[in-house]
Amino acid sequence: MGNSEIVLKYGCNPQQKPARIYSKNQPLPIKILNGTPGYINFMDAFNSWQLVKELKQATGLPAAASFKHVSPAGAAVGLPLSEVLKKSYFVEGLELSPIAVAYARARGADRMSSYGDWAAVSDIVDLPTATILKGAVSDGIIAPGYTDEALEVLKRKKKGSYCIIEMDWDYEPEELENREIYGISFEQKRNDVIIKEELLTNIVSNNKNIPPQAQRDLLISMITLKYTQSNSVCFVLDGQVIGVGAGQQSRIHCTRLAGAKADIWYLRQHPTVLALPFKKGAAQPERDNVIDQYLRDDVTPMEISGWSNALESIPQRLTAEEKASWLKSLTGVSLGSDAFFPFRDNIDRAAQSGVKFIVQPGGSIRDDIVIDACNEYDMAMACSSPRLFHH
């Protein structure tokens, strides 16, 4: 589509110069339609593009992702939104196309982490999608194309500096990939494993029932994990990621982090949270920050005093009992893990956030203990075999 090299302002940090991206054997498969994407922007762009392309191929549905620092804050396919989720995602009253819904869902998974994200969508960016992005704090987007009216809206974003990349859908990378660390060259075959339903057939739990919707969600979890910094665990519900635990050194910390994010995602839909008395004109990031603090157990008096900038009045906070009661209704969640569970503590934590379906590679010396834990909670668990580490 374009040149074989793009010179960049700097690398990961301003002191890392010179910097560039380049292709050795073919032109780069991109066109920069606006802005000047940087090193990390391109890392997010190419990782997120692979994720949404594979989601579209696996499900047949429009797909989107919201990336930060080379891991997804959220990913989703374009299934209809409930009125509650429209309000939670700040898209009430907007015209929503399937691809716009996919991005609203992807950004809605973890709105705090999606602040300043890189967006990726599998389909042509239309005006509804551009309208959502217009009101969001975002650094750039990659997509296979843009309508004229969507491009006009996006080019005005960030005072005209918003990064817009057009990606060649038909581009296929070479089989071997290379990188350097500390002057040493690494080479490996690309992780081109195809995530498909056949990976869910080895159901090792007593409960063998994984309905079609859960199969779809498990596939979404695995494709998301394929492009998430390891170790990683991913919670999915109704066609969208609701919590990702990325880049943790222990599996249980991945599960706790992902579970905590899933809990926050669900608590945002509590009627009391939806009714918070925000001042007219309070920006989305301000609302997201207040909601996050409102739901935290360790919020400080100083933080609470700051709410007056965004709220008409300081509301009574949800009690621990009210939160627990609400979270009990979260169920039917699917969970994927990029590698095996070494202990049952992951299953115990997953159960607290409504997990009923699990996919993981298997292969731990304690697989029997993990399976027994799933049976205690009547979960259905498939062992897929492929490990999905990503670094």
Residues serving a catalytic function are 68-69, 231, 391
The 10 Å Cβ neighbour count of residue 170 is 8
Q: Are β-strands 240-246 and 380-383 bridged in parallel, bridged antiparallel, or unpaired? A: unpaired
Distance CA(380)–CA(155), nearest Å, equals 47
**Beta-carbon-side half-sphere exposure of residue 94 (alpha carbons within 13 Å):** 24
- Which of 293-298's residues contact partners 24+ apart within 8 Å by CB, and which partners? 294/318, 295/264, 295/267, 295/268, 295/323
Pairing of strands 5-8, 117-121: unpaired
Start-end of H helices in the chain: 39-59, 83-88, 98-108, 127-134, 148-155, 212-226, 251-267, 271-274, 284-295, 301-305, 320-327, 345-351, 367-376
Q: Which amino acid is at 94?
A: L
Q: Which pair of tokens denotes residue 44? A: 């997010």
The 10 Å Cβ neighbour count of residue 286 is 17
Angle 338-385-342 from CA coordinates, rounded to 5°: 55
Max CA-CA distance within the chain?
Answer: 62
Alpha-carbon distances, residue 162 vs 33, 38, 111, 155, 159 (angstroms): 10, 12, 20, 6, 8
The amino acid occupying position 157 is: K
Give how far the C-alpha of residue 53 lies from the chain's centroid of Cα atoms, to the nearest Å.
14
Which one, of 191, 210, 193, lies nearest residue 382 by Cα? 210
In this structure, which amino acid lies at residue 318? L
Q: Side chain identity at 131, as an amino acid letter? A: T
d(CA 26, CA 194): 25
Residues forming a β-bridge with 6: 21
